[in-house]
């Protein structure tokens, strides 16, 4: 899985930390999609976000410990999709993309569960 911390996400974290300008909303949404383009620092959204089949963007409660921000979500599919990307954003729709990952397709059918965990490390490992 290729994990990318986006430039827009870095800018938003810096602004939020310093209270600069219009402070961005919390990054507490996880979304999945079917896009296959490589993750890039210039990404501003998922390539093809899923909005149906029980796999729509969801708000989560982030945790942090030892300079690592963690977001976890488990979905239960109500339809069929091949999930190939996921991302963390700061809004229920649109918003700023903090990070994106692209991976080998995970085929989902109704009743299947999918768990995504995002860990963002700030600074050196402790």
pTM of the full structure: 0.91
List the end-to-end C-alpha distance of the chain, in Å, as a whole number.
Answer: 23
**Tell me, what's the pLDDT at 96?**
94
Q: How many whole angstroms separate alpha carbon 85 and alpha carbon 45? A: 11
Please say if the pLDDT value at position 121 is more than 60. Answer: yes
Tell me: the pLDDT tens digits for 62-83? 999 988 899 999 999 999 999 9
Query: Mean pLDDT, to the nearest integer, of 8-37?
Result: 88
């Amino acid at each position: 899985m290729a994990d990318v911390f986006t430039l827009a996400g870095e800018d938003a974290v810096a602004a939020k930390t310093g209270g600069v300008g219009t402070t961005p909303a919390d990054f507490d949404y996880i979304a999945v999609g079917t896009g296959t383009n490589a993750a890039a620092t210039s990404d501003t959204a998922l390539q093809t976000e899923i909005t149906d089949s029980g796999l729509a963007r969801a708000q989560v409660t982030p945790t942090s410990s030892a300079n690592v921000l963690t977001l976890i979500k488990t979905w239960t599919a109500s339809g069929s999709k091949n999930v190939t990307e996921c991302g963390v954003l700061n809004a229920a729709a649109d918003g700023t993309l903090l990070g994106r990952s692209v991976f080998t397709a995970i085929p989902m059918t109704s009743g299947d569960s999918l768990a995504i965990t995002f860990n963002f490390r700030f600074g050196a490992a402790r």
